């Protein structure tokens, strides 16, 4: 691999958009929440769950808080790590609806939501995101999309339709270790590229990408 090129998924190296030492620096400074949330983070690292980590978790929290989100939708619950960051950002009386297609994983998330004290604000829906979205009514103030990457294009339109004007659609892994900008043609890379391009061109949305971890897209809905 040439020294001046960032690694790609094809190189079988750990993901990263910025240099490792910068990623570590940001992670070291990140707010990690209380002991209960740190325990979920630790479980994620120990058991290899692809959770967003502390820097991105706190970023999600800040964004949800800044739009005073009362109704948040998360696609891809895993063990409830990002879900806890989001639930803790809710305005009084707010609700997080989080979707997970694997029932055993959803049960782990339920336990963690109990430990982090957010259960009264969280509703877990078990099933595939595209199916669940068919019956789920908006509007949401904030949507976080973190499902299987090949599934991104199918959920884009339902997410935009269910977002209120002024609401945010935030999506993880949109740089896919930089592969989206290269000639990589894997199913995931192609799907993320399609998603990013559709989002960038959508007249209802203003979108940008922040090179945090594996790339986080933030899109505000500005009109119906
Ligand atoms: C990257 S992990 C989510 C991590 C989580 N957001 C966090 O940071 O704590 C993706 C999760 O979404 C679930 N998932 C993947 N594709 C899905 C789909 N199409 N519908 C529902 N859940 C899905 C997986 O089982 C996995 O638990």
Checking if the pLDDT of 15 tops 80, the result is no
Distance of CA 73 to the CA centre of its chain: 10
Nearest-angstrom CA–CA distance, 160 and 143: 9
Closest among 65, 111, 110 to 86, alpha carbons compared: 65
The total number of residues shown for the chain amounts to 224
Say if residue 78 is exposed, middle or buried (CB neighbours under 10 Å; 0-12, 13-18, 19+): buried
Q: What is the pLDDT of residues 113-141, one digit of tens each?
A: 999 999 999 999 999 999 999 999 999 99
What residues are in contact with ligand 1 under a 6 Å CB criterion?
50-52, 76, 78, 81-82, 99-102, 105, 128-129, 146-148, 151
Instruction: Work out which ligand 1 atom sits closest to the CA atom of 44.
Output: 9
Overall average pLDDT of the 152-159 stretch = 98
Instruction: Work out which ligand 1 atom sits closest to the CA atom of 74.
Output: 6
In this prediction, residue 16 has a pLDDT band, given cuts at 50, 70 and 90, of low
Sketch the domain layout of the chain as residue ranges: 11-221
Tokens of 200: 């960038």
Checking if the pLDDT of 1 tops 50, the result is no
In the block, residue with structure tokens 């970023």: 59
Mean per-residue pLDDT over the chain, rounded = 93
Q: Phi first, then psi: what are they for 124, rounded to 5°?
A: -95, 130
Instruction: Work out which ligand 1 atom sits closest to the CA atom of 105.
Output: 27
Tokens of 135: 């019956």
Residue 215 makes CB contacts below 8 A (sequence gap 6+) with 17, 172, 173, 174, 175, 176, 180, 209
CATH of 11-221, one of 3.20.20.70, 3.40.50.150, 3.40.228.10, 3.40.50.360: 3.40.50.150
Q: Which long-range contacts (CB under 8 A, 24 or more apart) does 130-137 make?
A: 130/154, 130/155, 130/158, 132/99, 133/158, 133/159, 133/162, 134/158, 136/73, 136/97, 136/162, 137/162
């Amino acid at each position: 691999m040439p020294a001046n090129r960032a690694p790609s998924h094809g190189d079988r190296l750990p993901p990263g958009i910025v240099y490792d030492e910068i990623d570590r620096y940001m992670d070291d400074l990140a707010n990690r929440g209380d002991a209960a949330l740190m325990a979920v983070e630790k479980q994620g690292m120990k058991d290899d769950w692809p959770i967003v980590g502390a820097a991105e978790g706190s970023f999600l929290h800040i964004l949800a808080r800044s739009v005073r989100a009362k109704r948040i939708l998360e696609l891809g619950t895993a063990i409830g790590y990002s879900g806890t960051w989001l639930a803790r950002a809710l305005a009084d009386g707010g609700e997080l609806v989080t979707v997970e297609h694997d029932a055993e994983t959803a049960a782990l998330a339920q336990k963690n939501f109990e430990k982090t004290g957010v259960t009264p604000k969280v509703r877990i829906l078990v099933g595939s995101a595209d199916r669940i979205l068919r019956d789920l009514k908006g509007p949401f103030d904030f949507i976080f999309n973190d499902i299987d990457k090949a599934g991104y294009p199918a959920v884009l339109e339902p997410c935009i339709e269910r977002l209120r004007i002024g609401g945010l659609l935030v999506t993880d892994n949109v740089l896919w270790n930089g592969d989206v900008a290269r000639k990589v043609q894997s199913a995931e890379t192609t799907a993320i590229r399609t998603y990013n391009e559709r989002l960038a061109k959508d007249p209802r949305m203003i979108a940008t990408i922040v090179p945090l971890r594996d790339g986080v897209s933030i899109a505000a809905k500005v009109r119906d």
